[in-house]
Structure 1
């Protein structure tokens, strides 16, 4: 019952993910961070098979860092998204695809914030808002109704909270906790957690 969604405002992008690690009918932990910081101004939120999700996002993170180390300049968000899409497409054609869906958010000085939707069959789109998982049915409906360009951070967080509330009230097995991260001119960082179950610090 994974839920990953994000949206873009005037000068920021926000991504949100549930924090449940689930296998079959078991919840293994409720503080799994599914949003990785790629570099100082990029975030990647992923959903899918846990092994593929962790391995693939770490692989992308290390290659983005390697490019910057070799060339002395970071990849733009668009370039990082296209690289990610290329790796998914290559794996798909080798008949060993990653079962991973990705939302990549970033901030570039000349361009501003951007959000890219990349699914497991290597479809790439630049979007204003996007979602994956069972929660996407409700998130996309809420964002269609309430999203508008030029939203302030406070308005965007209010919309995020509406999406989380809708997921919790509508999904039969709804994830209890969510993590919210933001990227803007000041960099990529964690913004807040929305918890209905306190994560076990020892997990």
Structure 2
């Protein structure tokens, strides 16, 4: 029986992106799975993109759409910095993302989280979901994995967290989404932004906590089944 494949049908895309403020800056986090329907196109992609020295953006939805928005905003912010002779603020960067997203809302399928630090307002997180709305929030979550995390964040997030507490929260939340959301997976990347600069961290899958019914990492399916290696038989 022939199965016809509709190549024009929209692909389901998934991810988990998070931005959290803490006492002194912000922490951004994301998983690394780029999916095209049921096919994993990239298992170690970087979804946290630099816009300026002090502002980064987490990307979800269509990878192509989010990348082109990030490229345009980075270019405009570079011109803005040259004209003003000082770094752009987080609010300016977020509003440029909002402007491009809103003016092209009929063509773009992307949700973004802008996070950074500046000397005027400190650490800030702005959510720019599909459609181009902009909302400043103490924390923001996006992507397909976010639907599993709202209740967790309502319980776990608190004001005045330290840098380590905020990063632990982000790492734990992304690993929870990876456990439940089939479109999220891979490694966890975090970016910490504060007055001292930017710190990038990388957490491979075997360093993430395991949740209910998750299996221990193995080198191959044969290890799980307990079968001997083919070459050893």
Per the normalisation by structure 1, the TM-score is: 0.88
- The aligned residue for residue 201 of structure 1 is none
State whether residues 21 and 125 of structure 2, in contact with CA within 8 Å, keep that contact through their aligned partners in structure 1. Answer: yes
Q: State the distance in 1 between where 2:182 and 2:100 align.
A: 34
Relative contact order: is structure 1 or structure 2 higher (C-alpha 8 Å, sep ≥ 6)? 1
Cα distance per residue 1:89-138 (max 9 Å; x no partner):
2223xx4x321111001111121100000012011000001111121122
- The aligned residue for residue 125 of structure 1 is 135
Q: Name the SS for the 1:135 alignment partner.
A: helix
1:1-203 equivalent positions in 2, closer than 5 A: 1-92=14-105, 95=106, 97-190=107-200, 192-196=201-205
Length, aligned pairs only: 194
Gaps of 5+ in 2: 1-13, 208-233
Q: Name the SS for the 2:28 alignment partner.
A: strand
Q: Structure 2 vs 1, CA of residues 46 and 159 (structure 1 numbering), >3 Å: closer, same or farther?
A: same
Aligned residues: CA RMSD: 1.8
Per the normalisation by structure 2, the TM-score is: 0.78
Q: State the distance in 1 between where 2:181 and 2:64 align.
A: 24
Structure 1 residue 50: Cα displacement: 1.4
Q: Name the SS for the 1:32 alignment partner.
A: coil
Higher-Rg structure is 2
Q: State the distance in 2 between where 1:139 and 1:65 align.
A: 35
State whether residues 3 and 136 of structure 1, in contact with CA within 8 Å, keep that contact through their aligned partners in structure 2. Answer: yes
State whether residues 104 and 116 of structure 1, in contact with CA within 8 Å, keep that contact through their aligned partners in structure 2. Answer: yes
- The aligned residue for residue 4 of structure 2 is none
Runs of 4+ in structure 1 off by over 3 angstroms are none
Structure (1 or 2) with the greater strand fraction: 1
State whether residues 130 and 140 of structure 1, in contact with CA within 8 Å, keep that contact through their aligned partners in structure 2. Answer: no
- The aligned residue for residue 224 of structure 2 is none
